[in-house]
Amino acid sequence: MKNAVVIGGTGGIGAGIARVLLREGWHVLATGLDEREIDAFSFAVPSVETAVLDVTDQGQVTEFFNRFETLDALVNCAGVLFRGAEYEMDVFTKVIEINLTGTMRTCLAAHELLARSKGAIVNTASMLSTFGGPLVPAYSASKGGVSQLTKALAGKWAADGIRVNAIAPGWIETEMTAALREDPERNGPILARTPMGRWGKPDEIGELVAWLLSHRAGFITGAIYPVDGGYSAM
């Protein structure tokens, strides 16, 4: 059985990915930031192993990956946004540190393990890697950075047999988007702009990630895959 780590895998899109990988026969370890989030996830998906991990803490990250003898896949889903507050410098820095620097930190920590297994990484970018988000400058910048980081690591680590790709989700049904979905003035324009006329589901993201981690995507690296119901095509 192959081993996968889903960073930020106990909530939102990460939880959807963890569920799909479990169904696909992977041994999955999902991390969360605190015990409350982990307990809620574990109640719903008891077969997934869990651990607390703060991706901004280098010591924690190093210790976490030192526990593995083998690792076949790393999925980075840890992320935050704070909307208008991101124009405050301390908040801006916090978002970059979690979303972008945290992704680099876990990729580096997993590199040796993945090189031994000829494994794969999937990072989480966003449709805001392409569009500017006026209310979320830090989130937009971090996700643009994740896209370019993914391409850089794909080029650097191809010689090690590691494939590195990213997903770029659009409007997905998660806790993070609940307020938007419940607000008719925001929800209406989003659906009108989305050709498929609905919000995506976390498990739909998971299906793509499972494919990207599999041998079926063996010649794919450095790619950024939109999963947005056609939103970015309009």
Residue that has been written with the tokens 């008891």 in this structure: 46
Note if 87 is an active site residue: no
**Alpha carbon 48 to chain centroid distance?**
17
CB contact at 8 A, 42 and 63: no
Catalytic residue among 87, 139, 225, 231: 139
CA gap 60, 53 in Å, rounded = 7
Q: Which of 73, 69, 76, 70 is nearest to 53 (CA)?
A: 76
CB contact at 8 A, 115 and 161: yes
Q: Which of 23, 145, 142, 135 is nearest to 80 (CA)?
A: 142
Residue that has been written with the tokens 């995506």 in this structure: 200
CB contact at 8 A, 165 and 154: yes
Residue 53, CA distances (Å) to 11, 37, 102, 160, 203 in order: 13, 12, 11, 26, 23
Hey, which residues are catalytic here?
139
